[in-house]
C-alpha cells in the first residue's frame, strides 16, 4: 500500500486526506508535514486507532504498542525505557549478543568448510537471521536459547517462530471491518477470528515462559534473580500486584518478542541483499573493517562507532527498505491543523516514510544504493530525513537495541566471509506483505570463509 499511496502523493501532494470506508485517513509524506504532526501536534497524534488488531493482539488495547495515550501508556513507556531497554540493561546483555554472533559465524564456517575445499556454498540467510535474533531476545526475556547446532526444531521453537510470523502478517493484513464496521454483523470477518485464535496460542506460550521463570527464581539465590526481563517484571509485580498484572506482563513480553525479532532480522536480510547487488560496496566495507579491527579478532560492539561506512550501509538500508514503511498508525484525539488543512478528531494518521525516503526531491539518485550519502560531516540526513524507528512520543523504544545488534551481525558476516549472488541475476528485491516489509523471497546467497580470517575462524 505504501507504493500506491506514494503515487497518489506524487500526483496530489504530500498531505492527503482520504476515506477508507467510514474512517478518515491522513497520509503525510514530507519532512515538514511529519514534523508538524510530531512536534506541534505531538500529543494529539500520540493515540492509536481502535482497530481489531489492537483488540485481539494487543490485549484489548492495553500494550505498549496499542494503548491510548494517557497515564497507563506513560507508565508502560517509562517501564520499557528505564527498566527493560535502558542503556545499562542493553549493555548488560552485550555478552549474549556477541555469543549468538559467534554461534552464527561458527555455524556458517562449519557449513562452508565441511568438505575441506575453498568453494562457495549456498546458504539460506532469512532463517539464520531470524533464529539469531530470536535467540538473543529469548535469552534476554526468559534465559532460554532455542536454536543452535542441534538438528531439527523442538515443538516450542516451532510454535514461537509461527506466532511471531503470524502476528506480523495478521497485524498488517487489511481488515475491512476496521473501515466498514457494519460488515461485522454480516459474518464476513475471517481476519478477526484468526487474530483471536492466534492470541490464545500466544498467550499460552508466554504464560508458560513466565511460569518457568517463577520456578527458576524460587529455586535460585538472590544474586541470580533479576537476570532476565521476566525477572524484572515479576519483581515489579511483587511490589505492586494490582497494577503489574499477569496480563500486563504477558503484553510487554509479547511486544518485545514480536517487535524485536522480525524487524531486526528483516533489516539484516535487506542489507545483505543490497550488498550482494552492489559488490563494490561490500569490498569497501570489508576494507574498512580490516583497517579498524584487523583479522586477529572478531569485530565487537566497541568497534561500531569507529566504522562509519558500515553505519552508512545500515542507514542506506533503512532509507531504501524501511521495515515499517507506513509506521504503525496514529490517530488524532482532537481536531487540529496540518499544512493549513483542518484534520477532524478521530482521523487515522499514516506516515509514508517509504515515500519520503525515496523522494527524488529530497535525495539525489534515490533508487541507487549509496552508503556514502551518510558518511562524513555533510550527510544527506542532517535534517533527520530517515525515520526507521518512527518519531514523536510513540518512537520505538527498541532503537538502541537494534542499533547494537544490526551492525554487529552484519559487520561480523562481512569481516569473516566472502559473499556472492547465487547467479548472474540481481537478487530479487520484491517486497512481502504484513505489518513489516519483509523480502518476498527469502535471501539465498553463496559464501565462503575469507582466507585472511581462516586462522581466527578455526579457533572460534
Annotated binding residues for heme, written as ranges, equal 396
Strand pairing class (348-351; 23-28): parallel
Report helix, strand or coil for 422.
Answer: coil
**Is-contact 80 252, C-beta < 8 A?**
yes
Strand pairing class (341-343; 336-338): antiparallel
The C-alpha atoms of residue 449 and residue 251 are separated, in whole angstroms, by 42
| 201: its cell numbers | 496460542
Residue set of the binding site: 396
Centre a 10 Å sphere on the Cβ of residue 50 and count the other Cβ atoms it contains.
15
Report helix, strand or coil for 348.
Answer: strand
Per-residue b/e over 100-129, b at no fewer than 16 CB within 10 Å? bbebbbebbbeebbeeeeeebbebebbebb
Report helix, strand or coil for 356.
Answer: helix
Nearest 5°: the CA angle 277, 281, 284 is: 150
DSSP state letters, 281-315 = HHHHHHHHHHHHT-SSS---GGGGGG-HHHHHHHH
Q: Say how far residue 143 (Cα) sits from the centre of its chain.
A: 21
The C-alpha atoms of residue 343 and residue 143 are separated, in whole angstroms, by 47
The C-alpha atoms of residue 173 and residue 192 are separated, in whole angstroms, by 11
Amino acid at each position: 500500500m505504501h507504493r500506491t499511496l506514494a503515487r497518489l502523493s506524487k500526483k496530489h501532494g504530500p498531505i492527503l486526506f482520504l476515506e477508507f470506508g467510514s474512517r478518515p485517513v491522513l497520509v503525510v509524506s514530507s519532512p515538514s508535514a511529519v514534523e508538524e504532526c510530531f512536534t506541534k501536534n505531538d500529543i494529539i497524534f500520540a493515540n492509536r486507532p481502535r482497530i481489531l488488531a489492537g483488540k485481539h493482539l494487543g490485549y484489548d488495547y492495553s500494550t505498549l504498542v496499542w494503548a491510548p495515550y494517557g497515564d497507563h501508556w506513560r507508565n508502560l513507556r517509562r517501564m520499557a525505557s528505564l527498566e527493560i531497554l535502558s542503556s545499562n540493561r542493553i549493555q548488560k546483555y552485550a555478552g549474549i549478543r556477541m555469543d549468538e554472533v559467534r554461534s552464527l559465524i561458527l555455524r556458517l564456517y562449519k557449513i562452508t568448510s565441511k568438505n575441506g575445499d575453498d568453494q562457495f556454498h549456498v546458504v539460506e540467510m532469512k532463517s539464520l537471521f531470524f533464529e539469531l535474533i530470536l535467540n538473543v531476545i529469548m535469552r534476554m526475556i526468559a534465559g532460554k536459547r532455542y536454536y543452535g547446532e542441534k538438528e531439527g526444531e523442538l515443538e516450542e521453537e516451532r510454535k514461537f517462530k509461527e506466532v511471531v510470523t503470524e502476528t506480523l502478517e495478521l497485524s498488517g493484513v487489511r481488515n475491512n471491518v476496521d473501515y466498514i464496521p457494519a460488515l461485522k454483523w454480516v459474518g464476513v470477518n475471517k481476519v478477526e477470528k484468526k487474530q483471536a485464535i492466534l492470541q490464545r496460542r500466544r498467550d499460552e506460550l508466554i504464560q508458560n515462559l513466565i511460569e518457568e521463570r517463577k520456578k527458576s527464581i524460587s529455586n535460585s539465590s538472590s544474586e541470580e534473580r533479576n537476570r532476565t526481563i521476566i525477572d524484572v517484571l515479576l519483581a515489579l509485580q511483587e511490589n505492586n500486584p494490582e497494577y503489574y498484572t499477569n496480563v500486563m506482563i504477558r503484553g510487554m513480553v509479547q511486544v518485545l518478542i514480536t517487535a524485536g525479532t522480525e524487524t531486526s532480522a528483516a533489516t539484516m536480510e535487506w542489507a545483505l541483499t543490497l550488498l550482494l547487488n552492489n559488490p563494490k560496496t561490500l569490498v569497501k566495507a570489508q576494507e574498512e573493517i580490516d583497517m579498524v579491527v584487523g583479522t586477529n579478532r572478531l569485530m565487537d560492539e566497541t568497534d561500531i562507532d569507529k566504522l562509519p561506512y558500515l553505519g552508512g550501509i545500515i542507514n542506506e538500508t533503512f532509507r531504501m527498505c524501511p521495515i515499517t514503511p507506513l509506521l504503525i498508525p496514529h490517530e488524532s484525539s482532537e481536531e487540529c491543523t496540518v499544512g493549513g488543512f483542518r484534520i477532524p478528531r478521530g482521523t487515522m494518521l499514516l506516515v509514508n516514510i517509504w515515500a519520503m525516503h525515496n523522494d527524488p526531491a529530497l535525495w539525489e539518485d534515490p533508487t541507487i544504493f549509496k552508503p556514502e550519502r551518510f558518511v562524513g560531516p555533510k550527510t544527506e540526513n542532517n535534517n533527520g530525513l530517515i525515520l526507521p524507528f518512527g518519531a514523536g512520543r510513540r518512537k520505538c523504544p527498541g532503537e538502541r537495541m537494534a542499533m547494537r545488534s544490526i551492525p554487529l551481525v552484519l559487520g561480523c558476516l562481512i569481516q569473516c566471509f566472502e559473499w556472492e549472488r547465487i547467479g548472474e541475476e540481481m537478487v530479487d528485491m520484491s517486497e512481502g506483505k504484513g505489518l513489516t516489509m519483509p523480502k518476498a523471497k527469502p535471501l539465498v546467497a553463496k559464501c565462503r570463509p575469507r582466507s585472511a580470517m581462516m586462522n581466527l575462524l578455526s579457533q572460534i
